Amino acid sequence: MLAAALLIGLGPGAPVHAQSAGGPGVPVTVVSPVREDVPVLARAIGTVQAFQSVLVRARVDGTLDKVLFTEGQQVRRGDLLAQLDPRPYQAALDQAIAKRAADAALLANARSDLVRYADLAQNQTASRQRLDLQRANVAQAEANVQGGDAAVSAAQLNLEFTGITAPLDGRVGLRQIDPGNYIRAADPASSGIVTITQIHPIAALYTLPQDILPQLQQAMRGGKLQVTAYSSDDRTKLSEGELLTIDSAIDASTGTIKLKAVFANGDDNLWPGQFVNLRTRLDTRRGALTLPSAAVQRGPDGLYVFVVKPDNTAALQPVEVGQDDGRTAVIGKGLNGGERVVLAGQSRLSIGAPVAATEAKPAS
């Protein structure tokens, strides 16, 4: 009874320093530390965003005649998305063409008159003043023709603007206006026709502590850094990409630096607005001593593991962990690789207690 009271008084999480007195060994599962190459990862939570996003608006006024896309459709740059009523702009173009033709006829006549006045001036039949005036008439007619060319070009451009095309490759969202509505291009309250987002490739924004910046810059000098995106529960791998760039300044209010990664996203696992867990690979620890994370325990004096001694009794061994991703812990100090480390059953162990050890099955 006294021994039981002492054990209860130690409380959970603290290793027991009293050796069990006889009895069968405590059943435990053990593993041996393994040396392997382990990636050095910087972890962060990020937000997926479209690589490019454009709200498609009309550039001229008019009645929306047709919508030629399906919501959610993938479109290519230059694809026709919608059509405004082109008739007013076709009429304006025809008028500009006619005006240019009239100006061209006047120019031809003015040039003919200039030739005649030049001949008369040589015979002193016409005055030099009249010749100069005719040259001015020709210059004015030429300017009128040039203005007509510009008016035709502007009218042609407005007519082309009645066909609303995709400005980039991407996915169209939900339609924001229906056919039959009159659109004013200069109306600031207009919500546009549709939004196109580029998701192939797609980007992710995230932040890391400023203290990691030197290590990050050193790693970037060796080439592009791999960035892996995982689901919000950090279990499902969604996509692999690379670090595109880091921001030009540290956020002084948070002490963090913003980064941008890019992913090909061929399988559409990433979607704009999605929260993801991101792992940036900075380096690789070669031949690191590793254990399953479940073997490492935390006590009042720090991290430790239980090891099984050759006489099949338990011993407590303090350790230092260099990295732990929740599955694999990299042991910096405390083990040399030849130990049998308790993986399961630690809660019933005490220092010096006899154990019945079973080797853990290899992970499938």
Dist CA 232 CA 277 (whole Å): 6
Dist CA 289 CA 34 (whole Å): 6
Q: Indicate the pLDDT class of residue 19, thresholds 50, 70 and 90.
A: very low
pLDDT per residue as tens digits for the range 31-80: 999 999 999 889 999 999 999 999 999 999 999 999 999 999 999 999 99
Dist CA 144 CA 290 (whole Å): 84
Two tokens, residue 252: 């002084």
- Domains of the chain plus CATH, in order, are 15-32+296-359 (2.40.420.20), 41-51+197-285 (2.40.30.170), 57-82+164-196 (2.40.50.100), 87-161 (1.10.287)
What pTM does this model have?
A: 0.72
298 three-class SS: strand
Residue type (1 letter), 184 = R
4-18, 115-129, 166-180, 267-281: the lowest-pLDDT one: 4-18
Dist CA 137 CA 113 (whole Å): 10
Q: What is the pLDDT of residue 123?
A: 75
214 three-class SS: helix
- Cis ω on the peptide bond leading into residue 201 (within 30° of 0)? yes
Name the percent of the chain lying above pLDDT 70: 93
Give 79: exposed, middle or buried? Use CB within 10 Å, 0-12, 13-18, 19+: middle
Q: What is the pLDDT of residue 42?
A: 92
Dist CA 7 CA 16 (whole Å): 7
pLDDT per residue as tens digits for the range 268-288: 999 999 999 999 999 998 999
Q: What is the pLDDT of residue 7?
A: 36
The bridge status of strand 297-299 relative to strand 275-292 is unpaired
291 near 243, Cβ under 8 Å?
no
98 three-class SS: helix
Rounded average pLDDT over 83-99: 96
Q: What is the pLDDT of residue 98?
A: 96
The single-letter DSSP state of residue 352 is: T
How many angstroms separate the first and last alpha carbons of the chain? 44
pLDDT per residue as tens digits for the range 178-234: 999 999 988 877 779 999 999 999 999 999 999 999 999 999 999 999 999 999 998
DSSP 256-278: EEEEEEEE--TT----TT-EEEE
Q: What is the pLDDT of residue 23?
A: 56
Q: What is the pLDDT of residue 288?
A: 92
Phi, psi of 264 (to 5 degrees): -65, -40
DSSP 119-175: HHHHTTSS-HHHHHHHHHHHHHHHHHHHHHHHHHHHHHHHHHHTEEE-SSSEEE---
Phi, psi of 272 (to 5 degrees): -55, 135
Neighbours of 100 (CB within 10 A): 19
272 near 49, Cβ under 8 Å?
yes
Angle between helices 87-122 and 128-161 (to 10 degrees): 160
Dist CA 108 CA 88 (whole Å): 31
15 near 350, Cβ under 8 Å?
yes
Tell me which residue has tokens 């300017």.
Answer: 143
